[in-house]
């Protein structure tokens, strides 16, 4: 097997997804795709972690709402490993706005609004490393 494109990425089931009981469905999709779960925990994100996670959006008008939403209930934080996992997981999620998400993607299948769009995925290798470091200690990745 070629392993040159092996990557780790940070995936998250957002509070709306957890609240709606979508965790098993989303984990099943990850398993069927063939990614390896190398870290997983259900947690309420501390405000400081949420602000750091979404720091790129600090000046955007929706930042306050975004931080309130993401800290407003438990999430499932997941470290995924697989061939091209960063872009592959983003492809499984679909576009940020569910109205633009391709059929069969998580956001097309389970979400109706941009604000509450069920999952998160790192958008680059740099983001993946940064976000995995925010949510997991090295010894939690197995």
- The annotated binding site is made up of 14, 62, 90, 96, 107, 117
Q: Is 17 in the site for ligand RTP (CB under 6 A)?
A: no
Single out the residue of 31, 42, 68, 96 in contact with ligand RTP (rule: CB under 6 A): 96
Distances (CA, A) of 47 to 1, 38, 66, 126: 42, 25, 11, 22
Shortest Å, Cβ 106 to ligand RTP: 11
Q: Is 15 in the site for ligand RTP (CB under 6 A)?
A: no
Q: Is 66 in the site for ligand RTP (CB under 6 A)?
A: yes
Q: Where in 31-111 does DSSP place strands (E)?
A: 36-43, 75-83
Q: Is 62 in the site for ligand RTP (CB under 6 A)?
A: yes
Distances (CA, A) of 127 to 48, 100, 103, 122: 17, 23, 26, 6
Distances (CA, A) of 118 to 4, 76, 137: 30, 11, 24
- Site residues for ligand RTP, window 121-140 (CB under 6 A)? 121, 123
Shortest Å, Cβ 121 to ligand RTP: 5
What lies within 8 Å, CB to CB, of 56 at 6+ separation is none
Note the residues at the interface with ligand RTP (CB under 6 A): 62, 66, 96, 114-115, 117, 120-121, 123
């Amino acid at each position: 097997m070629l392993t040159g494109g092996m990557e780790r990425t940070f995936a998250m089931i957002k509070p709306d997804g957890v609240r709606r009981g979508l965790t098993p469905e989303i984990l099943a999709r990850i398993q069927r795709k063939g990614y390896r779960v190398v870290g997983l925990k259900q947690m309420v994100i501390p405000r400081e972690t949420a602000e750091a996670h979404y720091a790129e959006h600090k000046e955007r008008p929706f930042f306050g709402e975004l931080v309130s939403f993401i800290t407003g209930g438990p999430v499932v934080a997941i470290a995924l490993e697989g061939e091209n996992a960063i872009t592959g997981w983003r492809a499984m999620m679909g576009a940020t706005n569910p109205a633009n998400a391709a059929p069969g993607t998580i956001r097309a299948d389970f979400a109706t609004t941009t604000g509450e769009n069920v999952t998160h995925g790192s958008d680059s290798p740099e983001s993946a490393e940064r976000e995995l470091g925010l949510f997991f200690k090295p010894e939690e990745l197995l």
